[in-house]
Amino acid sequence: MLTRPYKPVFVLEILFLPEKIMDCPRCGSLNYRKDGFVKSRQRYECKECRYHYTIEKKSDVKSAETRRMALEMYLEGVGFRAIGRLLKISYGTVYVWVRE
């Protein structure tokens, strides 16, 4: 019978994992598999406890204060890209806000 060779996880690999870590909400395991879609969101199954879960959507709604500051900066003559860099938002978002 053939078995898969054990691959040890090194500390450096753990330090440089992508930010998109989807640990199990029930047991905290990182051992999961994809398990279809629910409402166009990826669903996962934990291989340890067999729990099915989805990852919560990241809310990208900007605050009213950020929008107000962006519009004030635009009226002062600052460019879209500069506003985006200063407020750490997309310059496309600034453009859409100004167009409205």
**Which pLDDT tens digits describe the chain residue by residue (100 residues)?**
555 555 554 444 444 444 456 788 899 899 999 999 988 888 999 999 999 998 876 666 788 899 999 999 999 999 999 999 999 999 999 999 999 8
For residues 95 and 76, state if they share a domain.
yes
5 within domain boundaries:
no
38 within domain boundaries:
yes
Give the span between the Cα atoms of 62 and 31, in whole angstroms: 34
pLDDT value of residue 4: 58
pLDDT value of residue 77: 94
Count of domains in the chain?
Answer: 2
| Both tokens assigned to 81 | 């890209």
pLDDT value of residue 78: 93
DSSP state of 40: T
- What pTM did the predictor assign? 0.44
74 within domain boundaries:
yes
Give the span between the Cα atoms of 54 and 99, in whole angstroms: 35
95 within domain boundaries:
yes
- Note down the domain range covering 78: 64-99
| Angle ∠(55,60,64) on CA atoms, nearest 5 | 145
Q: Are residues 73 and 97 in contact, defined by beta-carbon separation less than 8 angstroms? A: no
